[in-house]
């Protein structure tokens, strides 16, 4: 069994400094973690590609969809992806999982801890942000799906989680 790379061990160290529990996957440059977000539980996978000095962060959450709702959700994700600068949404058809994936190429062998932390925060926040929109589509009656305006749905702000710090300011 080959040892873990310096890169994935650096990711593990960053998780530890942030107080995030994670587990290295034996024999692979992968670690797994779980987070409770505002709308959903997020499973997170970090995979290092040492030969490229790249790190990929994938967040995912179960979201079962029937055949009638699947095409509408896929269109919703495609529309949401047009608004993103980094990363992208996917739907894993085989495992029925809502997925967000982001990757970064690093200049050096040692990954920057701040960038790793930002990638993790982004992956969790984006998946948590899209979950209620997908749930609205999933819960819409089939005979009303044609009337659903996905562009307008994505503009709704009443279903997205509060930004960190917003709740604290409101309490004062």
User: What residues does each domain of the chain span?
Assistant: 6-66+85-129
pLDDT for position 168: 43
pLDDT of 108 > 90? The answer is no
CATH 3.30.1460.10 fits 6-66+85-129, yes or no: yes
Q: How far is residue 128's CA from residue 61's CA, in Å, rounded to a whole number?
A: 9
Reported as a single tens digit per residue, the pLDDT across 132-146 is 999 999 999 999 999
Helices 113-139 + 6-17 axis angle, to 10: 80
pLDDT for position 171: 39
Mean pLDDT of 86-101: 97
Reported as a single tens digit per residue, the pLDDT across 1-16 is 778 999 999 999 999 9
Say which residue the tokens 């942000």 belong to: 129
């Amino acid at each position: 069994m080959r040892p873990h790379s310096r890169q994935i061990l650096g990711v593990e160290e960053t998780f530890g400094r942030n107080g995030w529990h994670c587990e290295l996957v034996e024999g692979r440059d992968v670690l797994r973690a779980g987070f409770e977000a505002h709308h959903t539980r997020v499973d997170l996978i970090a995979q290092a590609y040492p030969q490229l000095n790249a790190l990929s962060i994938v967040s995912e959450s179960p979201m079962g969809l029937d055949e009638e709702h699947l095409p509408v959700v896929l269109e919703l994700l495609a529309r949401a992806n047009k608004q993103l600068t980094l990363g992208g949404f996917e739907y894993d058809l085989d495992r029925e999982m809502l997925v967000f994936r982001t990757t970064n190429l690093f200049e050096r062998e040692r990954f920057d801890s701040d960038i790793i932390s930002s990638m993790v925060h982004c992956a969790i926040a984006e998946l948590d942000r899209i979950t209620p929109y997908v749930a609205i589509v999933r819960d819409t009656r089939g005979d009303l799906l044609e009337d659903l305006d996905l562009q307008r749905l994505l503009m709704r702000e009443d279903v997205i989680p509060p930004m960190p710090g917003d709740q604290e300011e409101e309490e004062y």
